[in-house]
Amino acid sequence: MLPAKELVDNFSNKKLTKLDYHINVEDFQKEAKNILPKMAYDYYASGSNDQITLKENESYFDRIKLTPRSLVDVSRVSTKINILGHQLNTPILVAPWAMQKMASKEGECDTVRACKSVGTIMTLSSLATCSVEEVAEASGNGCSPGWFQLYVFKDRKISENLVRRVEKAGYTALVLTVDTPFLGKRLADFRNGFKLPEGLALKNFIDLPLSGIDGGLNKYMATMIDSSLTWKDIDWLRSITKLPILVKGVMCPRDAELACTHKVDGIIVSNHGARQLDTSPSTIEVLPYIAQVVKGRVPVILDGGIRRGTDVIKALALGANAVMIGRPTIWGLSVGGTEGVIKVLNILNDELKLAMAFIGTNSIHDINSNVIWSKPQTSKL
Ligand SMILES: Cc1cc2nc3c(=O)[nH]c(=O)nc-3n(C[C@H](O)[C@H](O)[C@H](O)COP(=O)(O)O)c2cc1C
Ligand SMILES: CC(C)CC(=O)C(=O)O
């Protein structure tokens, strides 16, 4: 057999590239594991402690079944959505994840280029290896770089300054992460003695003693991040910015109600990719309870464990307006930079489109809980 790179596509006679051999998210993860240094791969892949929730985030989706429908005209399936004033080509957004330059040369700048090309939103992490301004520039003139994820520092001035820079650079919403008073215990990071590779820094804080993490991530977060944050601080954040505020890391219906009471603009149902409280439920398991409380008052976004187009449908059916993906984009970025992230987003969106046709829906708005298979009561057949 010819080596992979020599293979020629019989039909189009076009040389296949490395990316053509990656046809689902799992392919990207396997390749990323081969090529990334162990310390980086383990940091990206790990959940906390025994990783019970990490497995559950993915496997709970498999337990939910979808109902195929027949003879519906699905010749015009569209995945376009409108969320917080943004027209997007897909309901799949990119979650904030830190330190992307361990995965590709230009890190967060590579990812934002991919998001622009696909027509979706990237959320930039506070703890990025490219600055707010660099990412805004990479996203192209005159177009918003996306949303910005905020960690609130003990020294509130640091967060305020960051918010000012984010506003100036044209980001269109703040995603306040509310599940990280301290960082979860990821065993591999302790075993590997995780640190940022030579030459990389947390670029948003380059002028402050906050740009390195020499004592390890847990110590960094415990020292710098304000663990006294409460719901009243949403009001504080509101008082310093006019940007829409989404809260990320809501897993309890009571917190969803509090979020609405505090007039947030959106709720992200997330367990931080299973990196915080191990044995918390999967996000897809709690989503319906949160959607029930929110009652459409604000958009609900789910992240955690989305690896296939059918997972996206299940989240939308159970009450999400959109989803975010974290690790799939990490693997895409590691394998192919901007092109790799584009490929991952396209794979998932194509899988979503195909599954939409199979369940007989043409538009994202038509996806509701009826598409979930539940044992019919014979009288209702
Ligand atoms: C390597 C890594 C770094 C992350 N960094 C951040 C971060 O800086 N801020 C944040 O709010 N969430 C962070 N997250 C959580 C993601 O935003 C998201 O909730 C999670 O990755 C979704 O799950 P998934 O990876 O299964 O798609 C991180 C997740 C990973 C895997
Ligand atoms: C640098 C880290 C604290 C970012 C993060 O939120 C994570 O690794 O889960």
Question: Can you tell me the mean pLDDT for 294-315?
Answer: 98
Calculate how far, in angstroms, residue 376's C-alpha sits from the geometric centre of ligand 1: 38
Residue 7 has pLDDT above 50, yes or no: no
Please give the Cα distance from 270 to 311 (Å, whole number).
15
The per-residue pLDDT for range 311-328, each reduced to its tens digit, is 999 999 999 999 999 999
Question: Can you tell me the mean pLDDT for 17-32?
Answer: 95
In terms of pLDDT, which residue wins out, 31 or 375?
31
DSSP state of 363: B
303 assigned to a ligand binding site: yes
Ligand 2: atom nearest CA of 127 is 1
Name the one residue in this structure whose structure tokens are 């990119």.
Answer: 94
Residue 148 has pLDDT above 80, yes or no: yes
DSSP-based three-state secondary structure for 42: helix
The per-residue pLDDT for range 197-253, each reduced to its tens digit, is 999 999 999 988 878 888 899 999 999 999 999 999 999 999 999 999 999 999 999
What is the bridge-based pairing of β-strands 81-83 and 86-88?
antiparallel
Give burial (CB, 10 Å; 0-12/13-18/19+) of 203: buried
Name the one residue in this structure whose structure tokens are 């740009």.
Answer: 211
Strands (E), 184-318: 245-250, 266-269, 300-303
Q: What pLDDT, on the 0 to 100 scale, is given for residue 9?
A: 53
Token output for 278 = 């191990």
Q: What pLDDT, on the 0 to 100 scale, is given for residue 138?
A: 98
Q: What pLDDT, on the 0 to 100 scale, is given for residue 208?
A: 86
Beta bridge partners of 66: 372
Would the CB of 355 count as within 6 Å of ligand 2? no
Q: Which ligand is nearest to the CA of 217?
A: 2
Question: Cα-Cα-Cα-Cα dihedral of 25, 348, 136, 83, to 10°?
Answer: -140
Calculate how far, in angstroms, residue 35's C-alpha sits from the geometric centre of ligand 2: 21
Report the mean per-residue pLDDT for the chain: 94
Residue 347 has pLDDT above 80, yes or no: yes
Question: Can you tell me the mean pLDDT for 166-182?
Answer: 98
Would the CB of 175 count as within 6 Å of ligand 2? no
Ligand 1: atom nearest CA of 179 is 11
Would the CB of 334 count as within 6 Å of ligand 1? no
Just list the catalytic residues: 272
Please give the Cα distance from 226 to 154 (Å, whole number).
4
Q: What pLDDT, on the 0 to 100 scale, is given for residue 364?
A: 98
Backbone angles phi, psi at 366, to 5 degrees: -80, -5
Residue 56 has pLDDT above 80, yes or no: yes
Token output for 25 = 């998210």
Contact yes or no for 112/145 (Cβ under 8 A) = yes
Q: What pLDDT, on the 0 to 100 scale, is given for residue 381?
A: 56
Please give the Cα distance from 373 to 66 (Å, whole number).
5
Calculate how far, in angstroms, residue 69's C-alpha sits from the geometric centre of ligand 1: 35
Contacts of 59 (CB under 8 A, 6+ apart): 282
Q: What pLDDT, on the 0 to 100 scale, is given for residue 213?
A: 87
- The separation between CA 180 and the C-alpha centre of its own chain, rounded to angstroms, equals 16
Q: Which ligand is nearest to the CA of 95?
A: 1
Question: Can you tell me the mean pLDDT for 181-196?
Answer: 97
Least confident of 3-17, 82-96, 109-123, 176-190: 3-17
What are the distances in angstroms from CA 22 to CA 19, 44, 117, 346? 5, 19, 19, 12
CB contact burial 231-270 (16+ within 10 A = b; e otherwise): eebbeebbeebebbbbbbbbbebebbebbeebebbbbbbb
Question: Can you tell me the mean pLDDT for 3-32?
Answer: 77
327 assigned to a ligand binding site: yes
Calculate how far, in angstroms, residue 30's C-alpha sits from the geometric centre of ligand 2: 22
Residue 3 has pLDDT above 60, yes or no: no
Ligand 1 pocket: which of 97, 245, 283 to mutate (most atoms within 8 A of CB)? 97
Percent of the chain whose pLDDT exceeds 90: 90
Residue 292 has pLDDT above 50, yes or no: yes
Q: What pLDDT, on the 0 to 100 scale, is given for residue 210?
A: 79
Question: Can you tell me the mean pLDDT for 139-146?
Answer: 88
Q: Which ligand is nearest to the CA of 272?
A: 1
Half-sphere exposure of 18 (CA within 13 A, CB side): 10
Residue 2 has pLDDT above 50, yes or no: no
Name the one residue in this structure whose structure tokens are 């980086």.
Answer: 40
Would the CB of 53 count as within 6 Å of ligand 1? no
Every domain of the chain and the residues it spans: 28-367
Residue 10 has pLDDT above 60, yes or no: no
Residue 380 has pLDDT above 80, yes or no: no
Ligand 1: atom nearest CA of 54 is 26
Residue 95 has pLDDT above 60, yes or no: yes
Beta bridge partners of 148: 124, 174
Q: What pLDDT, on the 0 to 100 scale, is given for residue 374?
A: 86
Q: What pLDDT, on the 0 to 100 scale, is given for residue 12?
A: 60
Superfamily of domain 28-367: Aldolase class I (3.20.20.70)
Calculate how far, in angstroms, residue 296's C-alpha sits from the geometric centre of ligand 1: 25
Ligand 2 pocket: which of 102, 180, 303 to mutate (most atoms within 8 A of CB)? 180
Nearest CA to ligand 2 atom 8: 98
Q: What pLDDT, on the 0 to 100 scale, is given for residue 13?
A: 63
Contact yes or no for 121/114 (Cβ under 8 A) = no
